[in-house]
Structure 1
Amino acid sequence: MARTGRPKAVLELTADEREQLQRWARRATSAQALAMRSRIVLACAQGRSNTAVADDLGVSPQTVGKWRARFVQARLDGLADDPRPGRPSSITAEQVEDVVVATLESTPANATHWSRAKMAERTGLSRSSIGRIWKTFELKPHRAETFKLSNDPLFVEKVFDVVGLYLNPPEGAVVLSVDEKSQVQALARSQPTFPMMPGMPERATHDYVRHGTTSLFAAFNTADGTVISSLHRRHRTIEFKKFLTKIDATVPAHLQVHLIADNYGTHKTPAIKTWLARHPRFTLHHTPTYSSWLNQVERWFAYLTEDLLQRGDHRSVHALEADIRTWVKAWNDNPRPFIWTKTAEDILERLGRLLRRINGAGH
């Protein structure tokens, strides 16, 4: 006789439970964990097997079995996360849902975002309870990040072009992510910095004296992480052309050179176009407008800033440039390429979801 496995727990829904689960599952701004658990229970209530539900929703059969059993045992309250050891929680699933929905879909009176104190006052829960709920569902109303959507009419084509170079670089070629970190300031603190001590962090004055600026030109090799760099006191077409000449002298002559750059004006001047025409092994690829995140050298600039510039103390441009050269040399002694995993389709799909959320928020 064929084995059928352990029989599944019978799962039947009341009308009220079905309505509640459907609300949790279809609300676009619901916490994703609760929405997924609701979809699992709704699918199981159709009499389907754990394996079929798992295949349909993209989760493991064990996950389906877990939430099926939890719901059968505790109904809607069973879809909450496991309680921690200690005193049993007195917060119901309805209260958790109320906090999550209010955080995502409303703002307090006379304020732009929720604080723990304001949400505690609204719900009657403690501030620590509000904090735990927000942490569980990864909600951070105190934080906001800026963005700007590209208005480039060739956005899709450029994304496919640049991402294609990252994921499938041409044979017999080097791919270089190129940009300039302009106006890097030589800053000296107005008073000496107190060094770190046990129980006390390093302390530095908030004010400083400016001692001039320099501009760092960098070409990040996306294959091996090495960097070709140059420092110039000015940031014009002539300096960019000098940097291209240095790249030409550094990259072996038998290799084609694909440069990924943003839309800054110095990258598109007639002089640069003439130089590129005279060096046919070079191909310049532009990222879409307002899409610096697509250029890998920007991440490398972030490492430089975190390691050296953010807390540096330089009393001359010469000293600043010497430290930058030393840092770049140390990087090239142990280079680290960045592993690009997102396909162009992944990026465009995510952007599409963002646009739908923005458009939905405007109605």
Structure 2
Amino acid sequence: MEQAAELRELVNSRDVPADIATRGRIVLWSGEGRRRKDIAELLGVSLPTVDRWKTRYAEHGLAGLEGDRPGGAREQVPARVRARVIALTRMTPPEGTGLSHWSTRELAKYLKRTENVTVSWHYIARVWREENLKPHRTGTFKISKDPAFADKVADVVGLYLAPPGGAVVLSIDEKTQIQALDRTQPVPPVNFAATEKRTHDYVRHGTTNLFAALNVGTGEVIGECKPSRNGKNFLAFLKKAVKPHAGKEIHVVLDNLSTHTTPEVKAWLASNPQVHFHFTPVGSSWINQI
């Protein structure tokens, strides 16, 4: 599917020479199951030409379609520009772009707009192939803007590595809007026997919301599915999660959802001083082990 999409982008681009677009159509139409005779007639080429470019693509990918272009020298780009393309590709796009990762076209536009460097998206695609760069498959890391970032990280990581003696550390999170096509039991069934039936009940109606708690010390997981995510349902699950640990100090690691700080939740915490909340830094829920 990814190769077909890449070929369609190639053959439909106004930046690609006609001969390369023809070669791309040969490969694309072959992949769609068209007969080589029909492809040759439609494109006005010989049968050996069809076979040749199918073979070149199978051996070298898109780069194989660029060879032997009469009078068609490759786009000449200075080494410093190539290095800049590679460097930007490996970075998360600036916040103002609204992008989670670069595409060849967006990177070409960005270079032109911000650095007055003109390269085609086709050139960028070739650099990515040669350097084996796949920004759409690369995870990104966003630095939190929480002013208390360092203190919160030390607090949460400290609980995981060296919890207070005799205390219980629970890591709680919620997966929202689980579609009916998703797995109905996304966490290994430790205490999930009753959860699976609830999930089936909810997904019949479209979506469900999973609440899960990991006991950091034992690895035990408990969970519950609810039709909606709100402070009331969170508090109900919280009570269920802490109930087996009556009489102990309980430390709960959470992210910064508003449902975790409703007036009802704060009132319950005030009446249960043995339970302590520890919030991950803003924009850093990845710290939460659950």
Provide the TM-score with structure 2 as the length reference: 0.49
